[in-house]
Amino acid sequence: MSAPRIINENFQRLLWPLVALGLILLFNFLFTPGFINLEIKDGHLFGSMIDILNRGAPVMLLSIGMTLVFATGGIDLSVGAVIAISGALAATIIRPDYVKGVLEYGELRPLLVVVSIPLIVSIIAGLWNGMLVAYVGIQPIIATLILMVAGRGIAQLITKGQIVVFIHEPFQFIGSGFLFGLPFPISIVLFMCAIAYFLTRKTALGMFIEAVGANPVASRFMGVRERWIKISVYMFCGLCSGIAGLIICADIKAADANNAGFLLELDAIASVIIGGTMWGGRYTILGSIIGTLIIQSLTTTILTRGIAPEITLVFKAVVIICVALVQSENFRQIFSSRLAKLKAR
Amino acid sequence: MGGSEIIVQIKGLSKRFPGVMALSNVDLELKRGEIHGLMGENGAGKSTLIKVLTGLYSRDAGEIFLENEPFELHSPEEAPTFGISTVYQEINLIPALSVAENIYIGREPTRFGRIDWKSITARAKKAIKKLDLDIDVTLPVSSFSVAIQQLVAITRALDISGKVLVLDEPTSSLDTAEVEQLFSVMRKLKDDGIAILFITHFIDQAYEITDRITVLRNGELVGQFETEKLPRIELIAKMLGRDVTESQGESGTASGTETIKEKEVFYQIRGMERQGSISAFDLDICTGEVLGLAGLLGSGRTEIARLLFGIDRPQKGETRLEGSAVSISSPRKAIGHYFGFCPEDRKTEGIISDLTVRENIILAIQARNGIFNIIPRKKQDEIVNKFIKALDIKTPGAEQIVNNLSGGNQQKVIIARWLASNPKFLILDEPTRGIDVGAKAEIQKLIKSLSREEGMAILFISSELEEVIRCSDRVAVLRDRNKLAELTGDQIEENAIMHIIASEDVQ
């Protein structure tokens, strides 16, 4: 008897993001020729919509982690820098001597090593953020700013300031392979969504995260391990960023410490906000994924319409403002009272 | 200027908030060169009165005269121009700025459009000197003690305008020496002809410094009294809204620790102390017994509760749980030993208002179970529905957001949370505050039955003396952060408690 209410509540939160996404897609169906086409070549799916999903995969991963961090009342500005670190590590593991000017590869590094070391380091980066927030008590925006700035420097130290290009077939699969006809990055996103869902909703973690975010004092008085919870979400966010870093690096077959993941933290934050997750409290990962899709489809739309890419940013801003306004209870109240006044006239 | 000249006169002041009459028909007169105490328990209307006087709230009825002229403020910014300034409990200075900057912030003297730092420093020095204070005004405020900061705030207030000074619980975070320093400044200001309205809940301080006292209770004026002519016991009775009968004066002052015989001691505390919050006290928490804490606001009731539950850590003290030594250093540990705590401030410490009734009830047990040992949803619903029924929580369903419930029902949700965790020892800090009469009676009944029938140890805190007396098997009496005595059985009686609170022998 009580279940429909919850579904209803979740649906309400997802309603406006879905409407926004629907509008953008509708626009494309009508005005972008070939937008709805899906082709199967060599058993792989191709098409504009698959492209949106594929390109959006790194930010989707970031927004999964960011959603949980947001729910605890935090923010992680360092995700872009962690992307750079993770990619730089992977590339240097593949070609350790490239930075010294040696072009030969040496032995082929096993995929497990290439993948696991960057991910472990990414989790440690998250641990660092979490410790600063939970134990040192620094405000999340400041605490993660430290790694946002320093992280890119660390990535550059790893690559000695160079762009490390490489060839490593098994690793490249992460960026450009296909699984069950879908680009592999999409599979990774689905997998991480499932992991996040099971970790938070099939255990008590999700409830603790929301409790800590909504009222840290009351949570502590109930014996919830506030610090532990915070640290774990930052670590998970670090892991998500690390995976995103591997995808980006594997896709372009190079590690660019300067530009990999540059400003992606802002896209991730925007996705979470558009998706309807409150700062501190209730969260919805699905909403954040929809948020990313809105941003990504908007970007793709602008590019395919032949509008100058610089304008993308303006469009993004407009969409964020619109969705944020619609989500804001204050705004809705003002808006509906104005509407009522107009009608009264 | 004559010492008895009336500077502020408040007549028939009323202020209504939705659902409550915060002030009704209150009078107050403040004379030049007097220190006037404003006293009363929670919800008495003290802060409302100040906020109306200083222009933060508008009044619904009544008149205020300043030097015989009727006056009305529309915003707090206007108050200083009329000579009224206020120093609040939480010092509103900017910690990183210097003393001088804090004194002149917002009204910096300028020269040719630029801030004249030289004159700021010079004038700040002079202003500080007036209070017999000798500090470097160029140092940041944060480098000084709370007491000095308080004095800086007073300096700022007086420098803006110097006729009426309102001090809102200025002593609550000061130690004895610091209070003395503040008082000597207050006396000096009084001699200079300034009228001081001093809000405090410390009885001793009121008797040390005030000339007259106005007592409020539940938004109504109890009376205005000459401090010298008002016996302590009368003052306390007036604040609590009780009557004093002289006969049973001293019967209750005897400490009753030896009377605990049959009851099994669950949690034993010896010499527990935390500086600035409560001085050393002993306490025995017994199974199947309600221990009440009686005392006025700020007497240390909540402080004891926080120490027992591990929220604050004591500097000294030994604790034994069921005979063996323990140290409960966090709420988590306390809960591990089957303690429960319903905090005084329901909104910020009790409920998680964005979550559902179910989640609010389940959280504490789930936290004890750990993250992975999740309670199956079916079991959760069972537990929650059981307590919704047992405590008669009025909610459309378990999935209702707690914020949508009334105060009394929110309180029941918190109680349900702890009852669901099978506590052995439950701390209830003002569980009936701000809830309607019906819910109040239910909670009182529940407290009794939990201790009698379930054998739970309960620590019951309430500012309503009558309620403490009705519910408790044993009462510890507190005053000014000291535990004074313990009463049992027939000793638990209004007059006895009030006499203990009024007694002067204990410092």
**Predicted pLDDT of residue B397:** 85
Q: How far does the CA of residue A212 sit from the closest CA of chain B (Å)?
A: 9
Kindly write down the DSSP assignment for every residue of B407-460, as one continuous string. Answer: HHHHHHHHHHHHHHT--SEEEEESTTTT--HHHHHHHHHHHHHHHHHH--EEEE
Domain assignment present for A326: no
User: What is the pLDDT at residue B213?
Assistant: 92
Q: How far apart are CA A14 and CA A283, in angstroms?
A: 11
The 10 Å Cβ neighbour count of residue B214 is 24
Please report, for residues A15, A32, A323, the alpha-carbon distance to residue A29 in angstroms, rounded to integers and kept in the order given.
Answer: 21, 6, 22
In chain B, which residues have their Cβ closer than 8 Å to the Cβ of A200?
A: none
Q: Are residues B429 and B409 in the same domain?
A: no
Give A218's contacts in chain B (Cβ within 8 Å): 343, 348-352
CB contact under 8 A, B354 and A282: yes
Query: Hey, is the C-beta of A205 within 8 angstroms of any chain B C-beta?
Result: yes
Residue A69 and residue A75 in contact, taking contact as beta carbons nearer than 8 Å: yes
Write down the pLDDT at residue B463: 80
- Distance from the Cα of A336 to chain B's closest Cα (Å) equals 22
Same domain flag for B231 and B144: yes
Beta-bridge mates of residue B400: none
Domain that holds residue B331: 250-338+423-507
Contact A204 B366 (CB under 8 A): yes
**Strand residues in chain A grouped as ranges (E):** 39-41, 44-46, 164-165, 178-179, 182-183, 254-255
Residue A220: give the domain boundaries: 15-305
The whole-number pLDDT of residue A33 equals 78
Residues from chain B contacting residue A205 (CB–CB below 8 Å): 371
Q: Å from B314 to nearest chain A CA?
A: 17
Q: Does B225 map to a domain?
A: yes
Same domain? B417 vs B427: no
Residues of chain A with pLDDT under 70: 1-10, 105-106
Partner residue facing B349 (CB), from A6, A218, A282:
A218
> Would you say residue A313 lies in a domain?
no
Co-location of B499 and B382 in the same domain: no
CATH number for the domain spanning A164: value is 1.10.3470
A/B interface, count of CB pairs below 8 Å: 89
Q: Is residue B133 part of a domain?
A: yes
Asked if residue A38 belongs to a domain, the reply is yes
B33 and B140 together in one domain? yes
pLDDT of residue A329: 72
List, in sequence order, every residue forming a beta bridge with B111; answer none if it has no partner: B114
Q: Does a structural domain hold residue A339?
A: no
Shortest CA distance from A1: residue in chain B? B397
Give a yes or no: residue A337 inside a domain.
no
Q: Which residues neighbour B9 within 8 Å (Cβ) at sequence distance 6 or greater?
A: B28, B29, B30, B64, B65, B68
Whether residues B271 and B164 share a domain: the answer is: no
Contact B399 A2 (CB under 8 A): yes
Q: Is residue A314 part of a domain?
A: no
* Other CB atoms within 10 A of residue B280 CB: 16
- Closest alpha carbon to A129 in A6, A238, A292: A238
Q: Residues in chain B whose beta carbon is closer than 8 A to a beta carbon of chain A?
A: 309, 311, 331-332, 334-336, 341, 343, 348-355, 359, 362-364, 366-375, 381, 397-399, 417
Total number of domains in chain A: 1
pLDDT given at position A49: 84
pLDDT score recorded for residue B245: 65
User: What single DSSP character describes residue A133?
Assistant: I
- Listed as ranges, residues in chain B with pLDDT below 50 are 1-3, 247-260, 506-507
Which domain-ending residue is among B422, B449, B469? B422
Optimal mutation site among A202, A205, A207, A222, interface B, most CBs of chain B within 10 A: A222
Chain B within 8 Å of A333 (Cβ-Cβ)?
Answer: no
* A210–chain B Cβ distance below 8 A for any pair: yes
What long-range pairs does B389-394 form, CB within 8 A, spacing at least 24?
B390/B416, B390/B419, B391/B415, B391/B416, B391/B419, B391/B442, B391/B446, B392/B442, B393/B357
Same domain, B321 and B376: no
pTM: 0.76
Least Cα distance to B240 among B469, B488, B487 occurs for: B469
- Parallel/antiparallel/unpaired status of strands B339-342 and B425-429: parallel
Distance (Å) from the alpha carbon of B377 to chain A's nearest alpha carbon: 10
Least CB–CB distance from A219: residue in B341, B352, B373: B352
- Pick from B406, B422, B438: which residue ends a domain? B422
Nearest to B350 among A208, A218, A281 (CB): A218
| Domain final residue, candidates B422, B457, B487 | B422
